[in-house]
Amino acid sequence: MAKFKRGKSGNPKGKPKGSPDKRTAYRELLSERAPELVDILVKNALEGDTAALRICIDRIIPPMRAVDGAVSVDVSGPTLTAKGDAIIKAMGAGTLTPDQAATLLQAIGAQARIVEIDELEKRLSALEAKSENKSLKGKRP
């Protein structure tokens, strides 16, 4: 037998506003002692503690992030499908990395959603105008 009803929250009101976050309390507690903690960390790193050394190095030299250069791909096809095909072909030919191709395909997907919403908006406006014209014609002054 289930303890809670399916589809019903066990806490419908949620967490009360203004209730303290444990992470904030811990951060405040640690910030008071930050200089001492940093001194200990550095001392341990200098003594050969590899975990402490890694923490220090990670703070001094942040991990490198992949940075893609600008690319030029002809995506002037007449349809979004043709543009997507051009990107896939460019990736297959080695002109684009898989990450670059994925980013460009995401952009095309976003463009497709924009076009779709724009078309729906135009259709809805046309239907509303048509409906309004019919209702006006049906009324006689």
Give per-residue pLDDT as tens, 59-77: 888 888 777 777 788 888 8
pLDDT of residue 140: 56
Element housing 134 (H / E): helix 98-138
pLDDT reported for residue 134? 76
Q: Which residues contact 10 (CB under 8 A, 6 or more apart)?
A: 4
- Band (pLDDT 50/70/90 cuts) for residue 105 is very high
Give the mean pLDDT of 27-34: 89
The pLDDT, as a whole number, for residue 108 is 92
Q: Where are the beta strands (DSSP E) in 1-141?
A: none
* Per-residue pLDDT, 15: 78
Burial class (CB in 10 A: 0-12, 13-18, 19+), 96: buried
Q: Using CA atoms, how far apart are residues 130 and 115, in angstroms rounded to an integer?
A: 22
For residue 52, the surrounding DSSP H or E stretch is helix 50-60
Instruction: Round to whole Å and give the CA distance between 90 and 77.
Output: 14
| Mean pLDDT, the chain, integer | 86
Q: Is the pLDDT of residue 114 over 60?
A: yes
How confident is the model over 13-25, as a mean pLDDT? Answer: 82
CA distance 7 to 2: 12
Burial of 59 (0-12, 13-18, 19+ CB in 10 A): exposed
Mean pLDDT comparison of 34-43, 73-82, 129-138, highest-scoring range:
34-43
d(CA 95, CA 104): 13
Mean pLDDT of 119-131: 92
Residue 128: C-alpha distances to residues 115, 137, 138 (Å) = 20, 14, 15
